[in-house]
């Protein structure tokens, strides 16, 4: 098992199916604030469904198509980051994130996502890292900007949530455009 220190008593660690109850407890605290942005938040409502969410990511990891990591603050799961998709052959991946309200404003997502971006580029040789978020999710857009990403496009009306269509921003960072501090 490994952990990456994020500072201020926080760690980034793999999030696995055996942690289903801890994940469910966290989702119960986070669901209302992350449900509009994270499709599986409203699906992880009991131990079986929370474990199934984590199992889907374990299966993705086994196929080298995605991964999920938790952020623990003082040994309490408060959020996470993930490779929503990961195409090693094509050199393109998408990073996503979520955080419960009590843990916001500490830079945890930015620091955790930075580790994923670095791993994607330096260890896996990715060419393009994407970040997608709702146009009204200003906190997520701000993280993408802090990571040095460029707002590349807006997909209009592409995301249906509770019967209402929403727009999605696409932010990207290409390997040759990485800021010097991240090379």
d(CA 18, CA 84): 20
Task: List pLDDT tens digits, range 12-44.
Answer: 999 999 999 999 999 999 988 887 778 777 788
Average the pLDDT over 51-55 and give the result: 96
Q: Which domains are delineated in the chain?
A: 4-182 (3.40.630.30)
Instruction: Pick 161 or 132 by higher pLDDT.
Output: 132
Q: What are phi and psi of 49, to 5 degrees?
A: -75, -35
∠175-39-146 over CA atoms, to 5°? Answer: 35
Three-state secondary structure along 55-97? HHHHHHHHCCCCEEEEEEECCEEEEEEEEEEEECCCCEEEEEE
Residue 64 confidence (pLDDT) above 50: yes
Whether this model's pTM surpasses 0.85? yes
pLDDT confidence bin for 85, thresholds 50/70/90: very high
Q: What is the pLDDT of residue 31?
A: 86
Residue 183 confidence (pLDDT) above 50: no
Task: List pLDDT tens digits, range 137-168.
Answer: 899 999 999 999 999 999 999 888 888 898 99
Task: List pLDDT tens digits, range 108-124.
Answer: 999 999 999 999 999 99
């Amino acid at each position: 098992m490994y952990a990456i220190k994020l500072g201020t008593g926080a760690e980034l660690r793999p999030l696995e199916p055996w942690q289903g109850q801890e994940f469910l407890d966290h989702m119960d605290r986070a669901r209302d604030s992350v449900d509009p942005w994270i499709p599986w938040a409203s699906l992880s409502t009991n131990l079986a469904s929370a474990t199934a969410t984590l199992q889907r990511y374990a299966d993705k990891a086994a196929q080298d198509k995605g991964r999920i990591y938790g952020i623990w603050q003082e040994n309490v799961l408060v959020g996470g980051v993930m490779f929503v998709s990961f195409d090693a052959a094509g050199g393109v991946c998408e990073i996503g994130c979520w955080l419960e309200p009590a843990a916001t404003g500490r830079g945890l997502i930015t620091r955790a996502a930075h580790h994923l971006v670095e791993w994607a580029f330096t260890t896996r040789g990715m060419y393009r890292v994407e970040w997608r978020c709702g146009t009204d999710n200003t906190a997520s857009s701000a993280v993408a900007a802090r990571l040095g990403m460029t707002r590349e496009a807006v997909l209009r009306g592409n995301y249906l949530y509770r019967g209402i269509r929403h727009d999605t921003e696409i932010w990207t960072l290409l390997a040759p455009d990485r800021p010097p501090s991240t090379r």
